[in-house]
């Protein structure tokens, strides 16, 4: 696994978790990034293209409804090509005090030291298959 890719992803997660602001970590994201969310929320799209669309998705769908969102990669698995599967634990805390903990894997593709594609999943087995790895 490319240590550079792992460092980029760790910096991305750490930066977001520190500030809670996706704008603080957009410099780790390719200007032409493609995002394919694993969870399609009401009023969201199946695909987002470019940094501005990624920011819009994150701020309106991921963080907008919540007081805090923390994303912890519990494991990073090398996949074919320049891809890394992150088995993530997402912790959502609502303004009303409700808390949700959910495992949501993400398959990252990196190019030239930047995140160029993110494929989200709700099922770990499906994510492992998409990454071309087995548990």
Given this model, what pLDDT does residue 44 score? 65
Instruction: Give dist(CA 47, CA 113) in Å, integer.
Output: 22
Note the pTM of the prediction, 2 decimals: 0.91
pLDDT at 1 (0 to 100): 47
Domain count, the chain: 1
Given this model, what pLDDT does residue 58 score? 84
The predicted pLDDT at position 42 comes to: 62
Instruction: For the chain, give the percent of residues with pLDDT over 70.
Output: 93
The structure tokens listed for 48 are: 């987002």
Which residue's entry shows tokens 């949501």? 104
Return d(Cα 69, Cα 92) in angstroms, integer: 5
Tens-digit pLDDT profile for residues 8-58: 999 999 999 999 889 999 999 999 999 998 876 666 667 899 999 999 888
Average pLDDT for 92-115: 94
Tell me which residue range forms the domain holding 30: 3-131
DSSP letter at 38?
S
Q: How confident is the model at residue 135 (pLDDT cuts 50, 70, 90)?
A: low
Domain of 80, CATH number, reads 3.10.450.50
Query: Per the structure block, which two tokens stand in for 106?
Result: 């993400």
99: phi > 0 → left, psi -120 to 50 → alpha, else beta; which?
beta
Which of these, 129, 132, 83, 73, lies nearest to 107 by C-alpha position?
83
- Are 51 and 65 in contact by the 8 Å Cβ rule? The answer is no
List the beta bridge partners of residue 118. 35, 108
Distance CA 81, CA 71 (A): 24
Query: To the nearest whole number, what is the mean pLDDT of the chain?
Result: 90
């Amino acid at each position: 696994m490319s240590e550079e890719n792992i460092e980029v992803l760790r910096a991305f997660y750490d930066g977001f978790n520190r500030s809670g602001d996706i704008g603080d970590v957009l410099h780790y994201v390719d200007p032409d990034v493609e995002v394919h969310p694993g969870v399609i929320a009401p009023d969201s799209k199946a695909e987002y293209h470019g940094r501005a669309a990624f920011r819009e998705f994150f701020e309106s769908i991921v963080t907008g409804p919540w007081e805090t969102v923390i994303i912890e990669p519990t494991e990073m698995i090398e996949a074919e090509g320049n891809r890394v599967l992150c088995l993530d634990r997402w912790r959502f805390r609502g303004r009303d005090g409700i808390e949700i903990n959910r495992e949501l894997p993400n398959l990252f593709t990196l190019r030239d030291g930047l995140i160029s594609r993110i494929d989200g999943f709700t099922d770990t087995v499906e994510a492992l298959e998409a990454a071309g790895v087995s548990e």
